[in-house]
Amino acid sequence: MGPSSTVVLAFCTMTPYVAFFDDSGNPEPDHRSEFYALGLIVVPFYKVKDLNSVVSSQFGTGEVKCSTFLSVRRKLCGGGKRVLNKNELALARKLGLRDCTAANSFMSKFLNMVSQMGYLNAMGIVIHKKSSYSRFRSREFVSFSSLSKSNPQYKAYKNVLTRQILDNALPYLLQRLQYFLRENDGLAVVIGDENSYQRQMYAVHATLPAGAGIYTSLSRIVNNVVFGSSEYNPGLQVADWVAHALNRWARSDPTLFASFKGKFRGYPLNIKGRGLVLVPDNHSWPPI
């Protein structure tokens, strides 16, 4: 058996996985969101159809975005403005959410369903944007903060600061996935939800297998990250809920995250660092 045959055999004996990730918040410095989060779930390839069947049985056809559902739930339960917008009304009708009890019942059922998926693992990263800008791009952040939108340099500084967030977010997330795959002798294809930053994410990821990363070359992630629509992809929809759970936890609302916490790498003692990366680490983060 030659060297090439040995390599092929090694790859054939590894466990194949599929990883799905989505974001919550916005990495741009002039956006109102305080945090930017990425949530990732990873499942064995042979369990992807099971995941699809279970989630589709709850969500039906099409997408159930966490942010839209939570807005519907808040309004049905009497928080703030009570009138549903077009997207919220469509979702409420699709899921049969007529009142607060129905919305709470749906959420409890969905979260319980996810908790029963013994094959699902989760990872994530949360970035406090201003602290990150100040720590890693302090000069650019100070200059950006003093400019008006009409200034020709405004957009250039904005792009630099946005890229700073993405340069931290995706590599740290994929690094944790790489460690998980190494621990479980696996290989993974990674699918991200389509977003406005996927070109930058492609560029960030492409540098890592080439050896530019200081931590890992992502040898167990197959090719580059691919992106697709979450509308008919249950794995991406669950990742969307994980990302929103992390963002809400960072804003001191741990309710949703508590339901996913047991799925994170490193649970129960070492989630921080192993399954969840917090940037910068010296920010005043809530307890996990």
Partners of 41 in the β-ladder: 20, 122
Distance CA 239, CA 87 (A): 20
More confident residue, 211 or 148: 148
Considering its fold, how many domains does the chain have in total? 1
When pLDDT is cut at 50, 70 and 90, the band that residue 138 belongs to is: very high
- Residue 231 is assigned to a structural domain of this protein: yes
Helix (H, G, I), strand (E, B) or coil at 15: strand
Residue 12: give its domain's CATH number: 3.30.420
Q: What is the 3-state secondary structure (H, E, C) of 22-89?
A: EEEECCCCCCCCCEEEEEEEEEEHHHHHHHHHHHHHHHCCCCCCHHHHHHHHHHHCCCCCCCCCHHHH
Residue 22 has pLDDT above 50, yes or no: yes
- Residue 226 is assigned to a structural domain of this protein: yes
Q: Mean pLDDT across the stretch 5-29? A: 81
Peptide bond between residue 3 and the one before it cis (omega within 30 degrees of 0)? no
- Residue 83 is assigned to a structural domain of this protein: no
The rounded mean pLDDT for the chain is: 88
- Residue 244 is assigned to a structural domain of this protein: yes
Q: What range does the domain containing 237 cover?
A: 3-50+121-279
- Residue 210 is assigned to a structural domain of this protein: yes
- Residue 99 is assigned to a structural domain of this protein: no
- Residue 217 is assigned to a structural domain of this protein: yes
Which residue carries 């129960």 as its tokens?
Answer: 268
- The 10s digit of each residue's pLDDT in 40-74 is 999 999 999 999 998 888 888 778 889 999 999 99
Nearest to 244 by CA among 265, 230, 232: 230
- Residue 81 is assigned to a structural domain of this protein: no
